[in-house]
Amino acid sequence: MKNSKKQIAMKRIEILFNNALSNVNNNPGLAQRQAEIAKKISMKFKIKMPFEISSSFCKKCKKFIAPGIASKIRIGSKPKSIRITCSYCNHTYRKIISQ
Ligand SMILES: [Zn+2]
């Protein structure tokens, strides 16, 4: 049962992240806070967040960037990659999709 704390923490991260996503239009401030809490939990428990969550945080300004709302996502080819641009600081980062 060593990992049960981590499992509970992961569940909380998922719930917070989903709440943040659903609040992003109506209450962006709350969404930002919920995402920050999710991030803090992941750091406290040293949980590696799944890509769909980790890619929703800007690597530069560390803000929560809701996919398609506060960030622009483009698919690139050669190499096949996802390019995510933060709409707060315009930082673009690339994730190579290995096949
Ligand atoms: Zn940014």
pLDDT digits (tens, 9 = 90+) for 23-38: 999 999 999 999 999 9
Q: Quick one: which H or E segment has residue 14?
A: helix 4-23
* 69 CA to centre of ligand 1 in angstroms: 13
- pLDDT band at 51; cut points 50, 70, 90: confident
CA of 4 to the centre of ligand 1 (A): 33
User: What CA–CA distances, in Å, run from 29 to 2, 16, 18, 89, 93?
Assistant: 35, 14, 15, 17, 24
Distance 14 CA to ligand 1 centre (A): 22
Residue 99 confidence (pLDDT)? 64
Label residue 75 by pLDDT band (50, 70, 90).
very high
The more confident residue out of 95 and 91 is 91
Q: What spacing in Å lies between the alpha carbon of 72 and ligand 1's midpoint?
A: 11
Where residue 68 falls among pLDDT bands split at 50, 70, 90? confident
